[in-house]
Structure 1
């Protein structure tokens, strides 16, 4: 039996998700089809590729070895498909797009929807992580293009300004700051901060702004999800500094309160790609949509989404 491209694609998706069911949902395949493909690969290699922990599948050392090789093969075939596209024909193929948390959750879904409607025979896979993770995925060749909200420290990437964003200090409506119009440096220093993990672009911009004013601060709670931070702040556990894109609805409804401060919290959202990457017709079409879809009020409207 020869290993097929489809088996490798299924294996990669199971490795990424850790679940047969989730892999099937993303690939639009039945659980039995996913399980059969994994079983056939394990028969071919003569040993298990995963450890079973309940319903979760965890790669063992043999599986990690295969994934490293499979990733290169899958990327090569996908690039081949893109290279074979003709500029005058209808675009097809798959694009792997990454986004750091704020961009990936609040901006890219609308952009991908626009792209899908314009090019219905294409497929885009979106992978979301913090800025550091997204840059690493780009370096490893696991993404074709990515959008980040923090600085890129990789010399192998070309960074292009995409859009501007603003962070805002927020507190719960019942918090002591709720009645204040502005927080002083002393108030910022003594506050219990609820922030994203290290590697997050939002966290890095906040730390740079605080350090530039010489403000010593304390992180009371570190959470990996923006929604969890918003809920913690609304419940009075502390204050935070988040993208205005992420808290627009909460500010509009009064669930969170914006607090003015002396911090410089404007940042650049950036688009990154590898220096040696070839701009295929599919990638060019996506970049045209990304760079030209929104500006000014249109950007703010799409970023905040429909009224809830």
Structure 2
């Protein structure tokens, strides 16, 4: 019997999850099949790799020695897929992903067209929802991966920055700041704000940048908190306040003269968009190809 990557991947997942049943669920396999593959790996090395108990799986000394090699093999497969995805122009399959609100509503629609032209045989299914829902669907194996607007901490999730973005001040047409070439943040803080809800990626980026400038976000004159960028834009357009949003989300309103984007001289609200997926998962080549597309292309030509 020859050593194979599939068995190393299964062994690593069992060790990470702490049980055969959890690993089987994560790998979409039956528990007996997972057990059989680990036993085959133990037979190959001639040593026990895992100690099985009623509570939790534990690694033996030989199992602990094998873990870094199993992890490196998974990382090498991921790197291989990423490198080779540049050459796979005839890919077929289905790309399933989740995207948080700003990304799903305003960023990805402009990128999926160019991606689809390069890979016309890949069909795309995208769910737009908040980060918590995306993580839940990934953990329940309803989605391969997600794209989110703020970093998250979860022991089972791999996270990687794949796109850059920046928030800008928007004001309604006719606002005192609408025609200014640049403004100071101190001047902006004098006006009422319409903001995304607490916990949204956009709100977190804004608040973190203000705190880094020794400005307490609680000092803002917040007149309204809304659950979507579209609602924020409508409120700003109606003259209810000013806000910070991704420039990509207001192209239409700016072109129509309904909203103005005003640069702030002394503050930049830069952020990253992140991909997240299970550490134990190997993404399908369609997903790897899409993430490579996001990382390596000049996306501003479409945004």
Into which bin does the TM-score normalised by the smaller protein fall?
Answer: 0.5 to 0.7
- Look up the match of 2:293: 289
RMSD: 3.1
Displacement of 1:222 after TM fit? 1.5
- Look up the match of 1:158: 158
After superposition, what is the alpha-carbon deviation per residue over 1:141-168, rounded to whole angstroms, capped at 9, x for unaligned?
A: 3321221222223232222221211110
State how far apart, in whole Å, the 2-side matches of 1:182 and 1:119 are: 42
Shifted more, 270-279 versus 163-172: the winner is 270-279
Displacement of 1:237 after TM fit? 0.7
- Look up the match of 1:47: none
Q: Which of 1 and 2 has greater Rg? A: 2
Change (3 A) 1:275 1:221: same
- Look up the match of 1:56: none
1:242-253 matches, within 5 Å, as: 242-253=245-256
State how far apart, in whole Å, the 2-side matches of 1:185 and 1:289 are: 36
- Which residue of the other structure, out of 201, 223, 243, is the alignment partner of 1:240? 243
SS at 2:189's partner residue? helix
Structure 2: gaps (5+ residues): 1-23, 30-84
After superposition, what is the alpha-carbon deviation per residue over 1:197-231, rounded to whole angstroms, capped at 9, x for unaligned?
A: 22321111111122222232132112222222112
1:6-155 matches, within 5 Å, as: 76=28, 91-155=91-155
State how far apart, in whole Å, the 2-side matches of 1:289 and 1:184 are: 37
State how far apart, in whole Å, the 2-side matches of 1:277 and 1:150 are: 21
TM-score under structure 2 length normalisation? 0.62
SS at 1:177's partner residue? coil
- Look up the match of 1:263: 267
Q: Does 1:278 align with 2:278?
A: no
Displacement of 1:117 after TM fit? 4.2
State how far apart, in whole Å, the 2-side matches of 1:175 and 1:228 are: 19
- Which residue of the other structure, out of 205, 223, 243, is the alignment partner of 2:226? 223
Displacement of 1:92 after TM fit? 4.0
Displacement of 1:239 after TM fit? 0.2
Displacement of 1:122 after TM fit? 3.7
Displacement of 1:101 after TM fit? 1.6
SS at 1:97's partner residue? strand
Q: Does 1:254 align with 2:257?
A: yes
CA contact (8 A) 1:130 1:199 kept: no
Structure 1: gaps (5+ residues): 1-71, 78-86, 304-308
SS at 1:178's partner residue? coil
State how far apart, in whole Å, the 2-side matches of 1:260 and 1:93 are: 43
State how far apart, in whole Å, the 2-side matches of 1:157 and 1:172 are: 40
CA contact (8 A) 1:168 1:258 kept: yes
Change (3 A) 1:210 1:172: same
TM-score under structure 1 length normalisation? 0.61
State how far apart, in whole Å, the 2-side matches of 1:164 and 1:287 are: 13
CA contact (8 A) 1:167 1:265 kept: yes
After superposition, what is the alpha-carbon deviation per residue over 1:233-279, rounded to whole angstroms, capped at 9, x for unaligned?
A: 12211000000111233334432222333333011122222211113
After superposition, what is the alpha-carbon deviation per residue over 1:168-195, rounded to whole angstroms, capped at 9, x for unaligned?
A: 0111122233244444444343322111
